[in-house]
Structure 1
Amino acid sequence: MVVGEVIQERELIIVGGGPGGYNAAIRAAQLGIEVTLIEKGDLGGVCLSKGCIPSKLSAHTASKLSDWKHLQQIGIEAGEPSFNLEQHHKYMGQIVSSLQKGVESLCKANKVEVINGTGSFMTGNRIGVEVGDTFEMYKYEKVIIASGASSFIPEVFKVDSERTFSAQSIYGIQEIPEHLFIYGTDYIALEAATSFNALGSNVSIVMDDAGFGFDADIEKELGRVLKKSKIKVIKNSSVDSVEEKDGQVIVHLTKGEDEKLSLEGSHLLVSAGFTPNTKEIGIDALSIETDKDGFIVINENSETSVKGVYAVGDVTIGPSLAVKAIKQGKIAAEHCAGRNSELNLRYIPAIVHTSTPIATVGLTEAGAVEEGFSVTTGQFSMSGNGYAGITGNKEGIVKVIKDAETDLLLGVHMIGHGAVEMITSGVTAMEMAARDEDLMYGFYPHPSFNEGWLEALECLSGEAIHLPPNKQQQKSAPEPVKS
């Protein structure tokens, strides 16, 4: 290995070129900072190459396959479609490559110096970068850590098997599973469940808990949708051991208190969260604060406990979401440039691209009661929405939660087609401290999925047009217990 002779000085170095890293790099460059971005793989990170983009393409593909029955209903005559996995992977490669080239082009246009190598921190504001057979040393004024996270695989699942997949490898699978077992309750587990189900797999979800963490009414509707799709959900179960035998994966588990089950399937997906990529980059040299799991602690400016050292994305505490990484990256860059930009994750939306999409923001009904609010909720079933009927997407509900004393919106929870696009209205409203009357004042296009959002808002005051009176009485949660 050839070692560089001099230490090169840089104004801002960013470690990691995923959504958080490259957004930070471009925003910093826009603000006049000289930026060096270090990425050992392809720009766009795991999100672009193995996560967000491949998973959403699979969800889109599954949705198109499911459309054929509706196409026949509206008069389009065609035979039942088949699925070509090889062509699917080819198209996925084209999309990923095109987006990666787009990020590369944007970095170049903004004069971001990109180094394709592996960085490792050292003392004294220095970072060593290994590029092939060479090793260069850089000294920085400020640094942003955007090294991401890797799938966490509990010991019980660590079997030497080509049939066991993680959240970051499942969409590279080379065959459609006959029977896919999924361990996990996060959005990755749910998206994979409905996607592979639509592609022809039998699917079983094994979960430690009794639910997926959504508002109770969303959980109820989700359970109905999964049951209708014949996706089996095994709740309150712990996995004791996993083995592979005769080309099958066998999962031994305990359900409830003591019921022992052994389930056999062709493939297994483990989606049990993530572990931060910090040891690989030597952050011990920085002496920055982390939590017990190694995730980096940051403030509202995305700055760590060490001045001039920032962290963004999955390597930090909080949900593993690209939307979080992107916003944190921009905030960190702006703070590096002297702006007093801040970030609050309270109103970060959670979306799930399941066959019937889910989107939520803010407090659940139970969470609002727990925080001491007097709660009123409004709810509308998308089965009563005209556009949902036209498109054959009548599954789902829209639920809104407000404080009965101030009328301030506290939470928006949706399951149904259009939910992912509509949730932005909920995010904006809550950031602006909107009341239900503020949201009912404007116009909602007709016919559209958006009208479900309006009907749920009107239901708060018993004024929804497309709900009978006995189904839109104001629903108030129990008063919180006051000490």
Structure 2
Amino acid sequence: MSQQYDVIVVGGGPGGYVAAIRAAQLGFKTACVEMWQDDAGKDRLGGTCLNVGCIPSKALLESSELFHKSQHELATHGISAENVSIDIAKMISRKNEIVDQLTGGIAQLFQANGIEWIKGRGRYLGDKVVEVTAHDDKVSEYKATKGVILAFGSLPIDIPVAKMDGEHIVSSTGALDFAEVPKRLGVIGAGVIGLEMGSVWQAVGSEVTVLEAMPDFLPFADKQLAKEAQRTFKKQGLDIKLGAKVTNAEVKDGEVVVSYEDKNGEQSAHFDKLLVAVGRKPNTQDVLGENTKVVIGDRGFIEVDEHCQTAEQGVFAIGDCVRGPMLAHKASEEGVMAAEILAGQAGHVRYDVIPSVIYTHPEMAWVGQSEEQLKEASVDYVKGDFPFAANGRAKAMNAAGGFVKILADAESDEILGAHIIGPNASEMIHELIVAMEFYAASEDVARIIHAHPTLSESIHEAALAISGGAIHKVNPKKK
């Protein structure tokens, strides 16, 4: 007879471990299945995000930015620093220590909440039965009496023309652990991962070339924000080639030779390392048994309704393995929603107010609709923007590039979207997320007192600008 739990969560990433903790808080006897092991064979919770994604990349971005500032910005503050160097091994070690602390913290939370961590690869068989294959290949079955939450996560997409070998041609995981700064780094893909990892190694001295097949830069972002970002990255030294379709990549004499096509025809480039960052795909191969109603669609995503319920009652799927943006915070909130619905509560995720962030320097963050989306939907809107160049705190920080832009409905004044590129954008965006969550008008934000001097005053000014009332910039003349 299989061991029983109230709720079984399959996957211990930011969707799965959060779902398990919330289920335990709601009084369910909970188990979480996770198979992750590091290179040393140590079992770890946290999934891609904590182990080889969100957290380690941000640790490296912080270190690399400090090094870059020490070389290029301290002099403007009257600080002299000569012969500044960076110890890449120490930088990587610090990153690993942060990962150890946070993944270990999740294990402690599991223990404190009475959650059993079942170590191995989970497979859903149907009828709320989960099969687990341990690392020694022993197979066991576990039964859930209330519900199952599937959080299988995602994997990097491998492209045939640039097969990853783990040494010269790598995924983002490999780019987190370079032993030394590659003199020439090639990046396939100008998305979030490609830009963040390219920024890390460019800041510590690598010559970075980004090859993007699409003709437009950041096509999923607001065009005004994307244009500002492209201009800034070019100024920083990132060589971003748009409309560059890679046709082949191979290792010759210790370097990677990349062939690609652009508007000028066949081109080639030589790199010491090549990062393949063309996106991720749902990790749903061989995760279901034959006796389940759960359906995997053509693109590999598990089919769910608006509350992440699958076709099988009491079985939910969340995070990267279902529709919607592949974001850790989206997965976490879906995990909470699924656990609360199993407890008879009104779990809910508002998908139109999920923020997106790119943690480059400067940071980019947005929520809601872009101007292009509003135009396509024929929505009558007004906008207000404000440059950080006119913000005292940004000037004092030597970070006066970028802007805040707010979009509001022309009739009701409800905020429909917000876009920020500049210092601390990832933190600042949340004021506007809260406002949108409460269906606030831009006037509501405009009438809130913002402390001076702060970066957040730029949000205040952008909201004022919608009605032509910005104080610290010249407002366009009304037509």
The equivalent of 1:480 in structure 2 is: none
Q: 5 Å matches for 1:304-453? A: 304-453=310-459
Find the aligned partners of 2:120 and 2:47 in 1 and give their Cα distance. 13
The equivalent of 1:255 in structure 2 is: 262
Tell me, yes or no, if structure 1 residue 99 matches structure 2 residue 105. no
Q: 5 Å matches for 1:218-297? A: 218-256=225-263, 259-282=265-288, 285-297=291-303
1:134 to 115, 133, 138: 138
The alpha-carbon distance between structure 1 residues 303 and 283, as it changes in their structure 2 partners (threshold 3 A), is farther
Which shows bigger deviation, 152-161 or 180-189?
Answer: 152-161
Find the aligned partners of 1:277 and 1:419 in 2 and give their Cα distance. 31
Q: Deviations over 1:243-266 (max 9, x none)?
A: 11121111111113x621111111
1:83 to 60, 70, 86: 86
Please state whether the residue corresponding to 2:12 is helix, strand or coil: coil
CA contact (8 A) 1:122 1:286 kept: yes
Tell me, yes or no, if structure 1 residue 181 matches structure 2 residue 186. yes
Find the aligned partners of 1:13 and 1:112 in 2 and give their Cα distance. 10
Q: Deviations over 1:338-375 (max 9, x none)?
A: 11211231111000110100000111101111112112
The alpha-carbon distance between structure 1 residues 171 and 474, as it changes in their structure 2 partners (threshold 3 A), is farther
Letter of the aligned partner of 1:294 in structure 2?
G
CA contact (8 A) 2:389 2:402 kept: yes
Q: Which portions of structure 1, spanning 4 or more consecutive aligned residues, are displaced by more than 6 angstroms?
A: none
Which shows bigger deviation, 11-20 or 72-81?
Answer: 72-81
Amino-acid identity (%) = 34
Please state whether the residue corresponding to 2:433 is helix, strand or coil: helix
Letter of the aligned partner of 1:46 in structure 2?
T
The equivalent of 1:57 in structure 2 is: 59
Per the normalisation by structure 2, the TM-score is: 0.94
Tell me, yes or no, if structure 1 residue 170 matches structure 2 residue 199. no
The equivalent of 1:108 in structure 2 is: 111
Q: CA deviation at 1:335?
A: 0.8
CA contact (8 A) 1:20 1:326 kept: yes
The alpha-carbon distance between structure 1 residues 454 and 123, as it changes in their structure 2 partners (threshold 3 A), is closer
The equivalent of 2:40 in structure 1 is: none
Per the normalisation by structure 1, the TM-score is: 0.93
Letter of the aligned partner of 2:420 in structure 1?
M
Tell me, yes or no, if structure 1 residue 13 matches structure 2 residue 16. no
Find the aligned partners of 1:22 and 1:422 in 2 and give their Cα distance. 27
Q: CA deviation at 1:299?
A: 2.0
Tell me, yes or no, if structure 1 residue 145 matches structure 2 residue 150. yes
Q: CA deviation at 1:309?
A: 0.8
Letter of the aligned partner of 2:224 in structure 1?
D
Q: Deviations over 1:35-90 (max 9, x none)?
A: 01111121111110100111101111122112224333223332242111111121
The equivalent of 1:195 in structure 2 is: 200
Find the aligned partners of 2:148 and 2:165 in 1 and give their Cα distance. 38
Q: How many pairs does the alignment contain?
A: 467
Q: CA deviation at 1:159?
A: 5.2
- Give unmatched runs, 5+ long, in structure 2: 37-43
Please state whether the residue corresponding to 2:298 is helix, strand or coil: coil
C-alpha root-mean-square deviation of aligned residues, in Å?
Answer: 1.6
- Give unmatched runs, 5+ long, in structure 1: 1-5, 476-483
Q: CA deviation at 1:123?
A: 4.0
Find the aligned partners of 1:364 and 1:452 in 2 and give their Cα distance. 19
Find the aligned partners of 1:285 and 1:190 in 2 and give their Cα distance. 43
